């Protein structure tokens, strides 16, 4: 009895996508999921979306196959033993499942990177703790070590849920890393004036990161005029547009509104077109600004504006709950940790009001 290899997604010369897999040395190609009662045809989508839909189809086909749900013409020839699936197949399937979910592009890129690193940890199709540890030990920087460990753990946990017999990440601990703070600004206004002279788009991004507490590299960068209320006093972001995954409503202070000039609803506020700036747009601008700034400290980053705004809200309101809501955090514990990281206040959950 043979195991099934994870399906491969192929784009042919006619720009059609199909899913290819072998069972007992027989090759099968499926251009859609109809033969397995899967309602998905990648080639019904625009060309740029077809490969992504193909990966979704591949994952769905694989889950059908290992569950024994085969088309008649395949079932006549094979007898599948799902217990023989290798750890590598489970990890591949876990990666595809994660890529289908509504994670940020950065998170998905990190998962792919972790997967490529994990390929070196396999021994005869089995994933071992020793192999993973050897991959992690290549990193002398503790922060880099912990980051890669987190994404490998993410994939291993997902693979375990899919049926991988053991989780080799058990017992592999994090390393102690020094806190890397985004130092807040002592004089936000002066810093913003220097940035405004350098680049107006970067200035507007920093202003909204501080005044609206939006995350710069996605929430601010992807803003369209339709995300604002008619009088520009409110920003509404749906769950798939922000890190917390929840719908978010953010007030817009007057000093931010003064810098906004409404455009077409579908247009991005920075490009004036339907297209968003590229993902590294503000990262690149900030890197250039750092080289010429006379006021910027070494530990201050683009996120320091968000941190500075958080401190200002807490100082003015004294309310952790208001801070949590403004920051878009998923829980009050995240906000407590955030404030401890800023070295502003030492609080425990037990210090908070109870009913």
pLDDT along the chain (355 residues), means of 10: 71 88 76 84 89 87 74 49 67 85 82 91 84 92 91 91 84 75 82 96 95 89 94 85 72 92 94 92 95 91 87 78 71 62 50 53
Q: Is 107 left (phi over 0), alpha (psi -120 to 50) or beta?
A: alpha
Same domain, 208 and 346: yes
Per-residue confidence (pLDDT) for residue 48, from 0 to 100? 86
Which of 156, 178, 200 is the C-terminal boundary of a domain?
178
Per-residue confidence (pLDDT) for residue 342, from 0 to 100? 47
Terminal Cα-to-Cα distance of the chain (whole angstroms): 61
User: Is 123 part of a structural domain of the chain?
Assistant: yes
User: Is 95 part of a structural domain of the chain?
Assistant: no
Per-residue confidence (pLDDT) for residue 36, from 0 to 100? 80
Same domain, 305 and 343: yes
Same domain, 47 and 152: no
Same domain, 153 and 213: no
- What is the count of structural domains for the chain? 3
Same domain, 109 and 69: no
Per-residue confidence (pLDDT) for residue 34, from 0 to 100? 82
User: Is 167 part of a structural domain of the chain?
Assistant: yes
Per-residue confidence (pLDDT) for residue 313, from 0 to 100? 81
Same domain, 280 and 223: yes
Same domain, 265 and 208: yes
Per-residue confidence (pLDDT) for residue 77, from 0 to 100? 43
Same domain, 109 and 36: no
Rg (CA), the chain: 25
CA distances from 24 to 2, 3, 29, 71, 107 (A): 6, 8, 14, 15, 36
Same domain, 306 and 230: yes
User: Is 4 part of a structural domain of the chain?
Assistant: yes
User: Is 91 part of a structural domain of the chain?
Assistant: no
Same domain, 127 and 55: no
Q: 56 Cβ partners below 8 Å, 6+ apart?
A: 40, 42, 96, 100
User: Is 97 part of a structural domain of the chain?
Assistant: no
Segments forming the whole domain that contains residue 45 = 1-85
Which of 178, 196, 217 is the C-terminal boundary of a domain?
178
Same domain, 315 and 206: yes
Same domain, 219 and 343: yes
Residue 26 and residue 87 in contact, taking contact as beta carbons nearer than 8 Å: no
Per-residue confidence (pLDDT) for residue 83, from 0 to 100? 46
Cα–Cα distance, 340 to 334 (Å, whole number): 10
User: Is 90 part of a structural domain of the chain?
Assistant: no
Per-residue confidence (pLDDT) for residue 322, from 0 to 100? 76
262 phi and psi angles, rounded to 5 deg: -60, 140
β 17-23/126-127 pair status: unpaired
Cα–Cα distance, 311 to 188 (Å, whole number): 12
User: Is 183 part of a structural domain of the chain?
Assistant: no
Which of 85, 116, 145 is the C-terminal boundary of a domain?
85
Total-model pTM = 0.56
């Amino acid at each position: 009895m043979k195991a099934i290899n994870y399906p491969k997604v192929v784009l042919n010369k006619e720009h059609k996508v199909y899913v290819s897999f072998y069972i007992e040395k027989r090759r099968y190609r499926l251009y859609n999921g109809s033969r397995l009662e899967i309602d998905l045809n990648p080639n019904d989508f625009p060309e740029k979306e077809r490969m992504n839909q193909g990966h979704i189809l591949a994952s769905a086909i694989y889950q059908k196959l290992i569950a024994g749900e085969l088309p008649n013409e395949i079932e006549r020839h094979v007898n599948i033993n799902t217990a023989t699936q290798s750890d590598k197949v489970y990890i591949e399937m876990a990666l595809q499942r994660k890529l289908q979910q509504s994670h940020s592009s950065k998170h998905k890129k990190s998962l792919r990177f972790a997967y490529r690193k994990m390929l070196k940890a396999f021994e005869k199709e089995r994933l071992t703790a020793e192999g993973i540890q050897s991959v992690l030990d290549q990193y002398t920087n503790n922060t880099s070590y912990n980051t890669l460990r987190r994404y490998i753990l993410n994939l291993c946990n997902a693979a375990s849920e899919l049926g991988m017999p053991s989780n080799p990440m058990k017992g592999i601990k994090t390393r102690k890393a020094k806190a890397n703070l985004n130092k807040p600004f002592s004089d936000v206004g002066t810093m913003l004036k220097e940035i405004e002279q350098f680049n107006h788009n970067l200035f507007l991004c920093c202003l909204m990161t501080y005044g609206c507490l939006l995350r710069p590299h996605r929430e601010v960068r992807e803003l369209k005029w339709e995300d604002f209320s008619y009088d520009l006093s409110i920003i509404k972001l749906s769950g798939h547009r922000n890190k917390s995954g929840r719908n978010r409503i953010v007030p817009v202070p007057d000093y931010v509104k003064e810098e906004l000039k409404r455009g077409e609803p579908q247009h991005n506020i920075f490009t004036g077109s339907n297209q968003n700036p590229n993902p590294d747009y503000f990262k690149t601008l900030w890197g250039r600004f750092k080289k010429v700034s006379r006021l910027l400290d070494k530990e201050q980053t683009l996120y320091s504006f968000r941190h500075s705004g958080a401190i200002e809200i807490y100082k003015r309101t004294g309310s952790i709950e208001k801070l949590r809501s403004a920051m878009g955090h998923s829980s009050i514990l995240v906000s407590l940790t955030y404030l401890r990281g800023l070295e502003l206040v030492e609080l425990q959950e037990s210090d908070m009001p109870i009913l």
